[in-house]
């Protein structure tokens, strides 16, 4: 499967940059909407050099134009299910921005479906984007991080890999694979001063939530299961991503951080 890769050729101006000791180059894969978009905007606001990569070129262009980021945000069209496409993306990002210090993998698809109705096509597509794409991205970007002996890799996973619920067996399986991939890389990346962690959100206000809980009744019922009484926001995730990418968080490595308002492990009070 071959895709075209378009590069938004922009110039990064020094007057917008942070101090060189603090400014980092950030790549968010799946950054055109939802959680990935929020992460990208936060890093831009903080003054870093930011690139987003996504298959949806129109959505990326909309992010740039809506937020007036023509000279602050680089965009790359990529098909994460294709190793060749991911390779080209990595080369173009390095060419445009230099070595990447922070990689955020936020690409993913989901569909609520019974196992008995799940066919090979949907299984294959979900694994290709949610797991193969993650593998390809780390495989393509990590050599640059190893070369410079520094980096942070943050994977946007899902609490579904813990509970097995939400999004169908193909989704929870793909996200469980991301857990295993992360754990297997802890030693090899760690000795090169590269941290890798997974953020596992549950019930975040996003397009995925709309897909899985399309009615107001289903959403209100779900909200009652969350101890803090609200859905998560993309900003809840982006703030944690930003922290994990800092030097202050360098001892956080090989972890799965569940963001769910207490829902997964809530205790049950006895009545009477």
Enumerate the active-site residues: 171
Rounded CA-CA distance 145/24 in Å is 12
Q: How far apart are the first and last CA of the chain?
A: 61
Q: Any idea what DSSP says for residue 8?
A: -
Residues 96, 51 contacting (CB under 8 angstroms): yes
Listed residue (68, 66, 95, 67) closest to 76, CA to CA:
95
Residue 220 structure tokens: 């209100």
Distances (CA, A) of 212 to 4, 95, 229, 232: 31, 39, 19, 15
Residue 136's contacts (CB-CB under 8 Å, 6 or more residues apart) are 80, 82, 83, 86, 87
Helix, strand, coil share of the chain (percent; to 5): 45, 15, 40
Residue 25 structure tokens: 């180059």
Distances (CA, A) of 43 to 25, 57, 106, 257: 9, 20, 14, 20
Q: Residue 177, Cα to own-chain centre: how many angstroms?
A: 15
């Amino acid at each position: 499967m071959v895709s075209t890769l378009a590069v938004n050729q922009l110039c990064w101006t020094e007057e917008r940059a942070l101090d060189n000791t603090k400014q980092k180059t950030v790549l968010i894969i799946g950054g055109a909407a939802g959680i990935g978009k929020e992460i990208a905007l936060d890093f831009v606001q903080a003054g870093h050099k930011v690139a987003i990569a996504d298959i949806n070129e129109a959505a990326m262009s909309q992010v740039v134009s809506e937020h007036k980021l023509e000279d602050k945000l680089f965009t790359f069209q990529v098909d994460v299910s294709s190793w060749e496409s991911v390779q080209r993306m990595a080369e173009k990002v390095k060419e445009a921005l230099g070595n990447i210090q922070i990689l955020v993998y936020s690409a993913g698809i989901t569909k609520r479906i019974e196992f008995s109705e799940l066919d090979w096509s949907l299984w294959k597509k979900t694994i290709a984007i949610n797991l193969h794409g993650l593998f390809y991205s780390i495989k393509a970007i990590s050599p640059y991080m190893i070369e410079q002996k520094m980096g942070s890799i943050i994977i946007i996973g899902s609490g579904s890999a813990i509970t097995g619920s939400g999004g169908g067996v193909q989704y929870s399986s793909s996200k469980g694979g991301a857990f295993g991939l992360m754990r297997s890389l802890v030693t090899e990346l760690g000795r090169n001063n590269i941290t890798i962690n997974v953020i596992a959100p549950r019930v975040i206000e996003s397009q995925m939530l709309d897909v899985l809980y399309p009615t107001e009744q289903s959403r209100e019922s779900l909200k009652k299961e969350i101890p803090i009484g609200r859905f998560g926001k993309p900003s809840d995730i982006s703030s944690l991503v930003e922290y994990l990418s800092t030097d202050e968080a360098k001892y956080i490595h090989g972890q799965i951080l569940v963001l769910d308002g207490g829902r997964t492990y809530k205790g049950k009070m006895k009545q009477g």
